[in-house]
Amino acid sequence: MADQDTPPDDIPQPIGKAPAGAPVKKKSETGDTMRFLVKLAIIVWLFRSFLFAPFSIPSESMLPRLLIGDYLFVSKWNYGYSRWSLPFGFPPIPGRVFGNAPARGDTVVFRGPPANDHDVIKRVIGLPGDTVQMRGGVLILNGKPVPKDHLPDFIVPLTPNYGADKCQPQFQDVQNGKQICRYPRFRETLPGGRSYEVLDMGQTIADDTELFTVPAGHVFLMGDNRDNSEDSRFSQASGGFGYVPMENIEGKAVVIFWSTDGSANWFLPWTWITATRWSRIGGGF
């Protein structure tokens, strides 16, 4: 005879409840945290690989448009996807998928050659089949001089991340009691009307070059700070980049989202505000 306290076997038990006496499984907080972090990492990887990635400006080669301490977003879809569209170049995608050629005048981030293996930002000057040359500081594109108009001097304050060591004595000045660097500035206008500003500090070896013919599948890139930029005017053996393969292009610069003069102390939060160059935030290309 069955015990009166034990329910008969033929009576259905409530769905979702463990049988009487079964151990209750406890959720693992560590496991939940790990699953969340893995999902977050996948989302960030997808976002950086296919939509936008941040990039910081480490040098003065793109003055006057970009200052050391600028942080910008680079869009990834404009020119298609390749190995270097992905963080750390992994997995290694051969060639390019959905590839499109950049336009002359675009500001792009690309991966340097093995001898200079890091991300770099420059401006597209020559496309496949173009001829490019510098003569007397004037850009010659496909045999025609690119118009170069003189503008008021470009002034950049001397700050912790742009000190006097980066400004030659002849360009140093004082304005409103503050030390500044004053550079000759010009506007170049490419065929089709695309224009941008460049610096020309005087006669240097970069002002007169051989005639370059851009090969298929490559682009010719230059820094806007024409006398202080390692770019396609110089071979890889001499510290430049030569012609840059299309598949090395990671994306197009679209907007500055933060800028700092380098005076902030990470342990003093109020200095984050005073160091921010607010007028530069939101600047597009």
Which of the residues are catalytic? 61, 122
Distances from the Cα of 234 to the Cαs of 116, 197, 228, in angstroms? 13, 21, 12
In angstroms, the CA 234 to CA 243 distance is: 9
Grouping H, G, I as helix, E, B as strand and the rest as coil, residue 197 is strand
Task: List, in order, residues 6 or more apart from 260 with CB less than 8 Å away.
Answer: 69, 71, 161, 272, 275, 276, 277
| Amino acid (1-letter code) at residue 123 | R
The residues, ordered by sequence, that sit 6+ positions from 277 with a Cβ below 8 Å of its Cβ are 67, 69, 259, 260, 261
Beta bridge partners of 221: 124
CA–CA gap between residue 121 and residue 83 (Å, rounded):
17
| 24, two tokens | 């209750």
b/e burial code for range 73-101 (CB count within 10 A of at least 16 → b): bbbbeebbbbbbbbeeeeeeeeebeeeee
